[in-house]
A = this chain, B = another copy of it.
């Protein structure tokens, strides 16, 4: 590390207590969907203190809602602002987006928490609470990195655009609106909880329903009916085969340690309404993983065609086809070419900070990187301090050490990237 890098890392180490304080303040705000405003107010104040140029707005409008990648369960985003805040460069360098979402998933069953989810405590070097890992800890890493760059009076050429967005947990409308508002850059980094691994690729996903038909009859003469539950078992076995076919195609070494790179999960089943009747309708609901290099439409098409083959195995399905519907949330996949400068810069910075080679993997879940790449054509990468396994779970936490280390990596990375000339090849 050079003197400048050392100064930044030193500053971050010296200000660890401020990072913890900021994280605690953010986690104290239960910023579940529709309740993001008070957490955004804290972000805003921090951006102001750092001296960033601030844009704050409520997503919405026809352009957003008619966009092919728009999905939301909400009809409007009133009182759920997005924030973009810029650390201006001197010009001529590559620009960079630091993107993090402010929304958190609900705390779930309180019985399963050992601590209050929205009263974040620092214990044994970890901060506990809903959203610590996913991903307010990552947001704090970004803000601290920006502050370190600013306080150390380090010069950059390209701008760094910090984004605190809504709706990531519900389909990415916040990030999509930031893109539509014109917030673009030459690259984006998203500190989702990767356990300090680097994810140049991410799995996408879509929700689906399969409606399976049967024929009702009295249970005492069940042979006069056709059980939709039994037919649903055939459908599920068939979907298992499709999952195998789809995963056999995946040869990317980034998935080498993943048992099923793009799973198809059946998460819910409901069928029948009376113990003594043969059930005539079952609904399966699930999540279909999408490979980094796949288009959503081609995945839908493949599953549709695969389900149609059921008619060949069982004539029942010829007359009563299983109905496939795509509904609800979807997350776009993402991939970077293996030799992209973004990866190289991030790996270098990671090694400088930790002295170790980073672990590179493809993630088993989607992030806003898919949206940024698909809707904004911005190369995106995911790397963050959170603990993957605790995200969306009771007793979510994040090690403070990770938050600071990720901040160092991101600051050093930003210096490298934003000092590279705009025209320089990726």
B-contacting residues of A (Cβ < 8 Å)?
203, 205, 207-208, 218-223, 227, 229-230, 232-233, 236, 259-260, 263, 265-279, 282, 285-287, 289, 328, 363-365, 392
A277 proximity list for chain B (CB < 8 A) = 265, 267
Picked from B207, B232, B271, B363, the residue with its CB within 8 Å of the CB of A275 is B207
A207 proximity list for chain B (CB < 8 A) = 275-276
**Assembled-state Cα–Cα distance A265/B271 (Å):** 13
Q: Supply 7 A–B pairs (Cβ within 8 Å), ascending by A.
A: A219-B289, A220-B289, A223-B260, A267-B276, A269-B269, A269-B270, A270-B271
**Assembled-state Cα–Cα distance A222/B258 (Å):** 11
A230 proximity list for chain B (CB < 8 A) = 236
Is the Cβ of A268 less than 8 Å from the Cβ of B263?
A: no
Picked from B208, B266, B273, the residue with its CB within 8 Å of the CB of A227 is B266
Picked from B205, B221, B271, B328, the residue with its CB within 8 Å of the CB of A263 is B221
Is the Cβ of A266 less than 8 Å from the Cβ of B236?
A: no
Picked from B223, B267, B282, B328, the residue with its CB within 8 Å of the CB of A279 is B267
Rounded to whole Å, the gap between the CB of A369 and the closest CB of chain B is 14
**Assembled-state Cα–Cα distance A205/B278 (Å):** 15
Is the Cβ of A275 less than 8 Å from the Cβ of B328?
A: yes
Picked from B205, B220, B236, B268, the residue with its CB within 8 Å of the CB of A233 is B236
A267's closest neighbor in chain B, by CB?
B275
